[in-house]
Every structure is written in C-alpha cells, then in structure tokens.
Structure 1
Amino acid sequence: MKVASFFAGCGGLDMGFRQAGYEVVWANEFDEAIHKTYQFNHPNTFLCKSDIRTLKAADIPDCDGFIGGPPCQSWSEGGKQLGLEDERGKLFFDYIRLIREKRPRFFLIENVQGIINDRHFNTFLLFLSTLEDAGYVVSYSLLNAADYGIPQDRHRVFIVGFLKELNCTFCFPKPLGKPYVTLRRAIGDITESPRQYVNEKVIQEYGEWHNHDIFAGLWDAKFMARNRVRSWDETSFTIQAQAKNCPLHPQAPKMKYVSQSQRVFLQGSEHLYRRLSIRECARIQTFPDRFLFFYDKVQDGYKMVGNAVPPRLAKFLALAIKESLNANPIRDEKPVNVLVAYYKDDDQLCLTLKNKLYYVRAGLRRGALQIPKGMVYPVYLLLHNH
C-alpha cells in the first residue's frame, strides 16, 4: 500500500510504515533545516518542500493513506497553549482539508496529550466531527510509547480514520506491557564521551557513534524545578524537541529535593550530570544507528529527534491499520453488529425488557462508550450479567 506523509519531519512515522511493508511515495516538509536529513534517510520518497497551506489535492499522488502529525506547540502543556489562536494550530485544518479533497482510504494523525485536555477538548471534538463529516469513521486513543517496547514514557494522541464505505473496524494495537525496555538496554553500550556544543557550528566529524553530540548550555530554573534523571533500570522521560529540556544521562544520581520548585545536583557528583546526546535520544526514540541526522546547530538535531514519532510505535499502528483493511468484510455481505449492554440483577432486566430501555452512553464526550459517527446501527442487542 502507498501512503503520503505530511509534516514529515525527519520521518519517524514514515520509517515505521515502511518497516510494516508500506511504500511512502510522497512526503511534505516545509522546514529546510530538515530536508537533508529526510532525503538521506528516505531516498525513494519524493520530498515536497512547499508550505502545506498552498497545497491542493492535485499536488499529491494517488495513494491509499495519509499519515502525519500537525505541529504540537499550540496544544503542548509545556507551552503557551494558544490552540487555534496560534497560526501553527490552524495547520490542523489544512491537513483535514487535503484529506477531504483527496479522500484516501485511511488517515493517521498524531499529536500531544495536551490536545485532549479541558482547554482544547472542544477544538479536538471539532476536528473529529469535521473528519466524520468528510466521510470517515474516526477512532482516537491516548497511547504511551513505553507500552510498545519504546524505552521512554511518551503519551501521544492518535486519530485513525477509514472511509465509511469500507466498513472497517479499527482496534488500536494492544500494549505489550511490562517488562519495559530500560535505558540500560537502549543506550548502555554507548560509552564514548559525547562532543559538547552550545551555539557554535557543529563539526560533522564522526567517531564511533554518529550524532553523539550534546547541548552543553546552562540549566534554567524551570529545568531545575524537578528531577530530570531516570536510572539505568527505568524508562526515560519523554524525549523533547528543545535541547535545553533534554533528560539527563542515567550515569548521574537523581537530583536532590530542596523544595517543591527546586532540585539540585548531588554534591560531589556534579561532573556526572549531562544531557543525553542526540544519538542517545535517537536510540530511545527507536531510530536505528544507520539513521543519520544532519544539522549545523546542535539544537536542530534535538528538535528533529524530539518531534518524531518513534518508528517502532509507528510500525505497530501501521500493522493495525493493515489488519483492519485486510479484515474488511466482503462488500455484498451485510455486516452484523451487536450492541452489548449490562444489567445488574433480574429486576433490572425485567424493567429493561418491559420498557425497552436499551440505553448506552455514547458519543464523544468523556467517560462515554466510543461509538464513532458513521458506524452502522446494531442488528442485535445482547444483555448480560457478570
């Protein structure tokens, strides 16, 4: 199957879909600082460098699916959370516009957890309803990358949609669960000292490890407000796009508590505290070592890695989408849908049957059973106890 990638970045989603057997035929990325990295690692994909706001359906080759993660800064809990008041937040609508115009069989959208918090949830529902009105059955879920063999806690929202006429039923991949992949397993073999940079131009000279560069800038008060060290036998904190906020290497002891808003480095061990290198972050994001990042400023390297979807997680999602498409019922057979309801005791069952009170909490509001708009009505009702 062929897919087109939007807001491609360095291509974490793209790599995962390729690993799952898809062909990424076309990708769009506007940031010129990323172009060399993308083209080197995805030589068989045509890279469109235009602003997505200028694109039309005719600019995109025919394909089975769209994949992409619109900019997250507008929704991130660590930012100003301007939502649609931020021009970057409005790019979400441009992605939806192209989905409406091109009508691929499926789409996938990724974004940060903040997009479903109380401040932005109504906007999120607007995005979903717009996609449903475009002719798609839409599902969404909040996933933690650590549950899928990725050595970091990374909560992200994924939206997956299929054309209604396909009658696809989508299930998000089941978590692998514990034991989680630890930092020791992910980066324990990288023992070479990293190269340090602040604002000077990076010299692309490689030792044993490519991109083994660190940002050596100062630690600000916000960074020192909480512990930033995870031990070797734990998963990493979220790999972030800002170099200054990168988690610290597990060689250092955990930071000492001073107050609710302040931690300090353990006295006598100050020399052990350093940020994870770009290569170490890439490992934690599950990029293979052959995946090279090109940048003049070390900050750009962290940005590329931190903004990416971990390829391993992308592969799990790609396989789940493929399974849904392959399990698609024969077109001339009407699918049978069963609605399941629960009753507490025989008295409640009698009352339900007598008055035909077949109520199920449905819709997109929180705490409700998720029944996407566009699903066909159930044929049977199954009442059960225990």
Structure 2
Amino acid sequence: MILKKGELFNGPGGMALGAKNSRVIDPKTGEEWRIEHKWSNDYDPSACDTYRLNICEDAESDSVHHGPVQELPIGDRSVLGDIDCFAFGFPCNDYSQVGEKHGLNGTFGPLYSYGVKVLKAYQPKFFVAENVGGLQSANEGQAFIQILTELQECGYELTPHLYKFEEYGIPQARHRIIIVGIRKDLSEDGVEFKVPAPTTPSSADYKTSREAITNPPIPENAFNHEMPRHTAKVKEMLSYIPPGENAWYVGIPEELRLNVKGTRLSSIYKRLDPNRPAYTVTGSGGGGTHMYHWEELRALTNRERARLQTFPDDFVFCGSKEAIRRQIGMAVPPAGAKIVFEAILKSLVGIEYEWVPPAQKLQLETLLGKRKVDTEKQPTQEDQKEKQVAFNI
C-alpha cells in the first residue's frame, strides 16, 4: 500500500525523509505500507533544491513548488493531485520562545490556515503538523486552541503532544509539538493513533553530541563539511570556555568578555557538552550563535549540525553556507519524524505498539473545554461598565 503525501513548508525534507523511510508490514496480508512524495511547497529556493535532490531523487522535479504558499493552487488537481496523507511544519517564527512571540498576529502566525485549506480540499486519511513548544503559550494560549479547533472541524480526531526528541534517540534537546490527525471515518472504524513511547526514557541512555558527531567519524571530504574561520580573539575566548558553558563563564579574562547585557543564560558562544545531547540546533542568529565544539576552538560545521539533526551523511544540502545552516536548523529531525509516521502506519494496519498518554498540558478535551468556558464567560455590557467604574476609582 503506497500512500501519496502532500506537504506545505517542506524545508529541506526532514519530515519527508522520516515519512519516506517509514515501512510497516501488514501481518495479515504481508503487504508493505509506505509513504511516497506527491507534491510539496516552500518559499525558500535553496530548501526546494535540497528537497528535490534528496526526496524526489530528481533535481528538476516539478512536483516541488517554490513560491509563496498564498499563490499555491490548493485544490487544483491538475497541479496538486490527490493525496492520501499530508504534512506541514508551519513556520514557527511567531511562536518561538526566542523573539517577540506575535503568535497569530505575526507575519507567519496565520500560515497554518493553508494547511487547513488543504485538509478541507483533499480530506487525506491522516495529517502530521509540527511546530515549536512555544505554540502552547502564544496569544495567552488562544492561538493553540484556535489552531486545534480549526483542524478538528476539518473532520479529524486529533492527538497533540509535546515530543522531547532526546527521549527518542535524537542527540539534541529539541522539544516540538506534533499534532497527528486521523480522519473521523477511519477513527470510527477503530483506527486510533497513540503517542509512541520514548525509546530512551532514561537520561542516562540519551545519545550524546559526541557520539552523534564522532561515531562514525565524518570524512574530511563529506558534503557540507567546510570548516568555519574565526578571529584569533574568538579562538582565545573559546579556549577559556569549558564544555557546556557560554561566553559569560567566570573564567574568561576581562579583556575577552563580551560587552552585552541581559543574555547570560543564552547560547552565545556556548560549547557543547560531549556527554549530553546537544542544545537545540537553530537556523538563524549572528556571531556567537553557531554552536561550538566541546574540544576544538571553532563552531560546528553544517555537516556536524546535520548529524545532530539525524540527517545521514549522504543527504546533500544546497545553497550558501548560511542558507544551509538555516535549512538544518528549521528542519524536523528525520529520525524523530520516522517514529511518528511508523506509529501512524501501525495504527492504520492495526499493529499494537508501546505508547504513552499525550502530555497533560496538551489534552485536547481540556484545551477545547477551556475555550468553551472562556467563551461562556465573555463579559456583558454591564460587566464592562462595572469594570470601567472600578478602574476609574
């Protein structure tokens, strides 16, 4: 059984690679269930080139549509054919904990609505949506509730969960909300998605940054493995920073310290702790934000960052060094995506697997129930007048 997948905001293909690598054998029929790319879209031309090369296996594929999602002819089967499943990691800029968190009021916040548009037009069997953990608190929690409500109203049973990827063998402390939706008619027939249980629940078993980057060693001629260059001053400052510490380590001489205030807990010039998973790989930021080696006096290469994101060494990223860094930092770890997609396929086939309840804060009934209560508690005109009088007093 081949399930055709559509995708918005495809990035370099982290989600797509996880889906592509997913395989489940139906124990009753012996049939293999897998997922294949049908069409996708992204605004980043370099990301589209990377996706074509690695996911489509055709650098000239016209199934990857570069351009604003607003201009995509969603529902036009002559351009975007029918699909069985759908994935969208809608842009996280306005929901991230780093930044101003505009939420639904930001430039990128409303883009999830194009995923809703796809669901209404195609009614795929299931979908997978991904975003940062900050989505929970954007607009005082109302953004998350609104998004869940609109996805549910498309005709899907939802399972939102905050995945801590280090608990799933990813060598990185990356926490992301993933929403899985199963079409209601399938749900009524007994298909139930459950959150796959962590594969490494004990922190003692987490995969470390050292293991990810050095085992096996990265060949010197590996793709996207160009060594960064630094000034003598930066190298000297790094020499005083122990693994796991940043530019505000007390042992740094005064003349080498940064003249920046209010960021002592940041990741600026922070060196990896080789005995723990990496801190979150990011795709943007200026000097000092590129992630730093625990031993060598330098930032990581793009290939080392890709290792932390679980991209295989034969996955070639296209574009400039900064464009590639952005792609890697914005991607979904393929190994994490594979776990989710295989759990969905098992749910469709009827194969049991180990699972855990969704994170308590993301219980859908609680969230949507909160919305109903909040709506019922909307202040009347009398309440507003009393509040204004009290304020003036």
TM-score of the alignment, normalized to the shorter chain, above 0.5: yes
Instruction: Figure out how many residues of one structure are paired with residues of the other and give that number.
Output: 302
When structure 1 is superposed on structure 2, of 235-244 and 278-287 the one drifting more is 235-244
**What corresponds to 2:103 in structure 1?**
83
Return the offset for 1:207: 4.5
Partner amino acid, structure 2, of 1:184: R
Residues 189-228 of structure 1: pairs in structure 2 closer than 5 A: 189=215, 207-213=220-226, 216=229, 221=260, 225-226=265-266, 228=270
Match of 2:49 among 25, 36, 41: 36
**What corresponds to 1:174 in structure 2?**
197
String of CA shifts for 1:181-200, please: whole Å, max 9, x gaps.
111211125878xxxxxxxx
Partner amino acid, structure 2, of 1:23: E
SS at match of 2:273: coil
Return the offset for 1:136: 0.9
Match of 1:289 among 288, 313, 316: 313
Large movers: runs of 4+ above 6 Å: 217-220
Return the offset for 1:229: 2.4
String of CA shifts for 1:210-236, please: whole Å, max 9, x gaps.
211355577874766446223221110
Return the offset for 1:60: 2.2
CA distance in 1, matches of 2:305, 2:369: 35
- The answer to whether the Cα contact below 8 Å between 1:125 and 1:364 also exists between their aligned partners in 2 is no
- The answer to whether the Cα contact below 8 Å between 2:174 and 2:279 also exists between their aligned partners in 1 is yes
- In the superposition, relative to structure 1, how do residues 118 and 68 fare at CA in structure 2: closer, same or farther (>3 Å)? closer
Partner amino acid, structure 1, of 2:6: A
SS at match of 2:344: helix
SS at match of 1:161: strand
**What corresponds to 1:235 in structure 2?**
277
Match of 2:291 among 222, 232, 247: 247
CA distance in 2, matches of 1:366, 1:248: 42
- In the superposition, relative to structure 1, how do residues 61 and 278 fare at CA in structure 2: closer, same or farther (>3 Å)? same
SS at match of 1:153: coil
**What corresponds to 1:317 in structure 2?**
340
Structure-1-length-normalised TM-score: 0.72
CA distance in 2, matches of 1:118, 1:57: 30
**What corresponds to 2:244 in structure 1?**
none
- Identical positions, percent: 29
Greater share of helix residues, 1 or 2? Answer: 2
- The answer to whether the Cα contact below 8 Å between 1:114 and 1:120 also exists between their aligned partners in 2 is no
**What corresponds to 1:154 in structure 2?**
174
Return the offset for 1:49: 1.6
**What corresponds to 2:21 in structure 1?**
19
Gaps of 5+ in 2: 23-33, 235-246, 248-257, 352-362, 371-393
String of CA shifts for 1:285-329, please: whole Å, max 9, x gaps.
000000011222x2211100010000000100000111111129x
CA distance in 2, matches of 1:174, 1:189: 26
Structure-2-length-normalised TM-score: 0.71
String of CA shifts for 1:149-181, please: whole Å, max 9, x gaps.
110000000001111111221101110123011
